[in-house]
Amino acid sequence: MGTVVRVRGIVLPEREERTFWIDGDRLRTSPVPGAETVVDGGWLLPGLVDAHTHPGSAKPGDPFDHDLLRADLGLHRDAGVLLVRTPGTAGRMPRWVDEEPDLPRVRSAGRWLATPGRFFAGWGRNVDEADLVAAAVEEASASSGWCKVIGDWAAGEPAVPVGVLSAVVEAVHAVGGRVAVHCQTADGCRNAVEAGVDSLEHGMNLDVGLVERMAAQGTALVPTLGAFLDFVGPTSSDFLRQGVEGMLATIPVAREAGVEVLAGTDSRPCGTVVGEVQALIRAGLTAEAAVGAASWRARAWLGVPGLVDGGPADLVAYDRDPTAEPGVLAFPRRVVLRGKVVR
């Protein structure tokens, strides 16, 4: 047994004061005499989550860079983001990511899967629609179980047919994987929902009439709203401006219907999920729902326990309640990753 440390604080979302002893990379509730106290008071959150981030590539078209990947994950960690989902990268996630004790836990989706004309030229893995099912199974099997399909691209151009996406979902689910789909057009969103995908990435121009079905079948929405709000401006196209306006209106309706709305940045620099929390609040989510979208709700959706006995020792401590003052998320007092104090 290594050195055991102790943390105490008000745990969110339960709002109960609890004490944990950290043994290795696990939280324990059984007292250990003589443990060093590293957090005593304040508010404790399960490690923050960025559910849509692409560490390792500086801009579209750039190759996958392992040194940049390490630096990007370090930025996430220092901001208290201790679990990330990477729905698509320019290359497959290296094995060393899962072995690095000082880097966030990663759930990856292999390379982007794009059919002709539906992605940045030369980026990701380009396949014909006829080969998409087999490629999706390969990428899901070579990653953390996720695959990512570019379901549509430019406005006015056809989306991947619902029959093709349905076959992808069936095949990937059969091997225990999950399917994320990039969609920004109304047809792309509709096809993805009707195919039963696990997550809509962006969901711009999503028909609000589909949210009940999304909730019933467990399709999450990862809008990456902040990235669009930063990008849209007076000279933006009608498609973009109307799409962002639609997102602002649809997000709270989707959450109210029971859709899991999650925080993802899809932008650089890494480690800025607090900005997405603020964007979700701007869209009409309560502060607690928005913070949960970047912490305990996202972790549960990814199958990772929160602050419970036997759960991973990944937590962030704050001086004030982040659900009352979301801005405090940018100022963690203490960050503990895999049982190690990293800040």
Which domain covers residue 229, as residue numbers?
48-294
> By the 8 A CB rule, do 317 and 7 touch?
yes
Q: What is the CATH number of the domain that holds 334?
A: 2.30.40.10
Are residues 236 and 275 part of one domain?
yes
Are residues 18 and 67 part of one domain?
no
Count how many residues are written for the chain: 343
Q: Exposed/middle/buried for 52, CB within 10 Å: 0-12, 13-18, 19+? A: buried
Q: Is residue 213 part of a domain?
A: yes
Are residues 168 and 151 part of one domain?
yes
Q: Which of 204, 130, 205 is nearest to 168 (CA)?
A: 130
Q: What is the pTM of this model?
A: 0.96
Are residues 111 and 230 part of one domain?
yes
pLDDT tens, the chain, 343 aa long: 458 999 999 999 999 999 999 989 999 999 999 999 999 999 999 999 999 999 999 888 888 999 999 999 999 999 999 999 999 998 889 999 988 999 999 999 989 999 998 998 878 899 999 999 999 999 999 999 999 999 999 888 999 999 999 999 999 999 999 999 999 999 999 999 999 999 999 999 999 999 999 999 999 999 999 999 988 888 889 888 999 999 999 999 999 999 999 999 999 999 999 999 999 999 999 999 999 999 999 999 999 999 999 999 999 999 999 999 999 999 999 999 999 999 8
Read off the DSSP letter of residue 147: E
